[in-house]
Amino acid sequence: MNIGRRQFIHSAVLGASLLTVPSKAADIVFRPGTGAEPGSPSPLLLDRAKAALAAHNARIRNHDLLAIADFSKPSRDPRFYVVDLRSGKSDTFLVAHGKGSDPSHSGWVQHFSNVHGSEATSAGSYLVGETYFGQYGESRRLIGLDPQNDQAEARAIVIHPAWYVNRSLIQDQGKIGRSQGCFAFAKDDINVILERVAPGCLLYADKV
C-alpha cells in the first residue's frame, strides 16, 4: 500500500508539473527580445538582417541600429521595425509596399522586382542615404547594396511620407495604400523614421 501511495503521489506531482510547462514555455517564447512578440521582427529575419549588416560592414556607418521591413506580413500590420541592437528593443511602424508587388491590391506582397517601371518593392539590403525634399516633402534616398535591389537609386526608391498610409484606411478597407516601390510611411510617423533611420544605417527588406 505504501508503494502504491508513493507511486500515486509521484504521478500526481509529475502530472502537475507537466501542466505548468505550457505557461512557462509561453513566458519564454514571448519574453521581450526573443522576436516572437508582435513588436519584434522574427528571429529568422533579424538574423538575415544582421548577416547583411556584417556583409556590408564597410559601407554602413551605424552598427547599433537596424531597420527591417517584414513583407511577409500584410500592409494592415505594423511591419517596419527599428531595432536598437544595443538594448534589443524595437519599435514598429506601418509601411507601404509597391503596386507592382501587389497588382490586385490584396494587401500582401506577392513578389519583388528590381526592374525599372515595375513599381514593385525590391528585397535586399539598402544603405540609407541623404535627405532631400521632393513631391512628398522631406524624404531620404536609398542605395541598393545587393543584386536584387541595385537599381533602387536609379528607380528613385526612397523613404517618404504618404497620405495613403494611415489607420483610417485600415479601418475602412483592411489595408493601406500602395507606393510605386518606395518605403512610404504615415505622415505622423515620418519624423521619427527620419530621425532614427538616419544616413549611414542599414535597411533590410525581405519575406520569410
Is residue 140 within 8 A of residue 197, CB to CB? The reply is yes
- What are the per-10-residue average pLDDT scores of the chain (208 residues)? 44 36 27 50 97 98 98 98 96 98 98 98 98 96 98 98 97 98 98 98 97
Distances (CA, A) of 167 to 67, 94, 125, 174, 189: 21, 9, 28, 9, 12
* Cell triple for 33: 527580445
Same domain, 189 and 120: yes
Look at the chain and report how many structural domains it folds into.
2
Q: What pLDDT is attached to residue 153? A: 97
Same domain, 14 and 101: no
Same domain, 124 and 182: yes
3: which residues sit within 8 A by CB, 6+ positions away? none
Is residue 182 within 8 A of residue 205, CB to CB? The reply is no
Same domain, 116 and 181: yes
Same domain, 67 and 108: yes
* Best CA proximity match to 203, nearest among 95, 72, 99: 95
CA angle (151 as vertex; 147, 155 as ends), nearest 5:
155
Same domain, 11 and 77: no
Same domain, 77 and 25: no
Range of the domain at 88: 43-206
Give a yes or no: residue 35 inside a domain.
no
Give the CATH number of the domain where residue 58 resides. 2.40.440.10
Same domain, 105 and 183: yes
Same domain, 55 and 114: yes
Same domain, 111 and 180: yes
Same domain, 61 and 120: yes
